[in-house]
Amino acid sequence: MPVHGASAADTVGSGQPVRSCESLTALRFPDGTTVTSVSQTTTTPVICNVELLVPQNVHMRVSLPVGTWNGRFQGVGGGGFNGSVPDTESAAKTGYAAAGSDSGHTADSSDASWAWSPTGMNASLINDFLSRALHETTVKGKAVTQAFYGKSPTYSYWNGCSNGGREGLQEAQVQPRDYDGILAGAPAIQADRFLPAAMWPQVVMHELEDFVPSCKFDAVNKAVTAACDSRDGVTDGVIADPRTCRFNPTSLVGTVTPCGTITAKDAAVVKKIWDGPRRPDGRRLWYGILPGASFARLAATANGDGVPTPLASGWFTYWLAKDPSFDWHRLTMANFSHYFDRSRQEWGPVVGTDDPDLSAFRAAGGKLLLWHGLADQLIPSQGTTSYYEQVTAAMGGRAKTEQFARLFTAPGVGHCRGGSGAAPADPLAAALVKWVEHGKAPTTLRAESGSMSRPLCRWPAVARYDGHGSTNDAANFRCSGRQ
């Protein structure tokens, strides 16, 4: 997710350093953290990049704007299983002192194998990934910031999506004083549930012996969008509220597509993917993707076989089976619940990151801004809305919760970005900073997609066209439903 923030001109402190970038090589830390390299860009604005190694394995970077610091610190989240330092320069170019880490290991973000070894799971690496690297990067990042500018940040913000969103919630739950404001998009909380559930579409297709080609899925999404698009008062290619979209894919049986005619078996596959994984007795295990979300991420096929997302296949191989030779084709709709239960029992307390008690974060004065795309093709948004309802119950009801934590949903937006809908337009500067520093709680988030703009409503409300003016202008939409 691209990182944005308040402009450099919108400052809350002096932007001038009190020492040279090169001098930061002399920094010393009691825990043995070392500065491994320092470099200064030739761009405008000039950025001082400080690379550090936190014992034992956490590689991190702090990017410091030279002369244009806005007085704020930003922690930058990673994605997937992380494994590399995220882009911190983009945040620095907008005035923030910004820090991010590889979360304690080096790997592709979709690679789950680092957590496993022939002698057992790598507990220290898992702890770094889930929590320790976040707090250490925050503490060290603020220390480097203080050393460079001669003062501590006036305000600190977290900005992340997917695993970066989970990281923000981890900080709110466990280190509630690290950040004044947390922006968490499509948070990868409940990983012990959504990761095994991400394999369900492949299990369904394998068991029904029907690896549906992509153009049939495209035809389904075109049809379901046409059926449910206009319910918000405008036909714009976006399903505003997929929760209320009642479309039976069986109605498409016989439809001719470039890759064949849609069959009853194809329709059955779609139904089960939308419905999500269930036990053999019909009890729900987790959520499916919502109607309108792309099937390409979780239900990819090639050469008559399934192509699971590496995040899901790696979870089964290294975290559940703990066997590099594990073949996902062994999974059936009958034994799926066994693996799902194992995932919840063994890893729920470790990776769940879904403690609804945010009382310490609230007491510290923190503000939490959550958002999730309703066409998320990897992490179903229902997990986030369910978590928010749990937070609401734990924090004394909606009115009390919305004093410090608000959830917004983005119709038609995929995982962190993409899709046919409008995504939040710089919500850090446009909403969170104003909430934290000026007490202006956001009632909507402005979202944009090309020339189209929309208001994103507080859950569970939905934006509807008021019947007047351009349908591309957010000003002509109103949030309908409980806000």
d(CA 61, CA 136): 12
Q: Which tokens hold the place of 151?
A: 């003062």
Per the annotation, the verdict on 241 as an active-site residue is no
DSSP string of 434-477? HHHHH----SEEEEEETTEEEEEEBTT-EEEE-SSS-TT-GGGE
Is the omega angle on the peptide bond into residue 277 within 30 degrees of 0, that is, cis?
Answer: no
Q: Which tokens hold the place of 430?
A: 């446009």
Q: CA nearest 371: which of 319, 323, 410, 425?
A: 410
| Bridge-based pairing state of the strands 72-76 and 155-161 | parallel
Catalytic site residue from 90, 109, 156, 162: 162
Catalytic site residue from 376, 381, 426, 453: 376
d(CA 336, CA 195): 12
Per the annotation, the verdict on 162 as an active-site residue is yes
Assess contact for 457 and 479: CB atoms under 8 A: yes
Assess contact for 285 and 382: CB atoms under 8 A: no
d(CA 90, CA 5): 9
d(CA 97, CA 104): 21
Q: Which tokens hold the place of 268?
A: 């059955």
Catalytic site residue from 294, 415, 420, 449: 415
Per the annotation, the verdict on 357 as an active-site residue is no
d(CA 267, CA 384): 28
| Helices 214-228, 264-275: inter-axial angle, 10-degree rounding | 70
Q: Which tokens hold the place of 348?
A: 């729920």
| Residue 453, beta-bridge partner list | 448
Assess contact for 208 and 265: CB atoms under 8 A: yes
Q: Strands, E, within 44-180: which ranges?
A: 47-54, 58-65, 72-76, 97-101, 116-117, 120-121, 155-161
d(CA 356, CA 379): 19
On the 0-12 / 13-18 / 19+ scale of CB atoms within 10 A, 55 is exposed
Assess contact for 444 and 479: CB atoms under 8 A: yes
Q: Which residues are catalytic?
A: 162, 376, 415
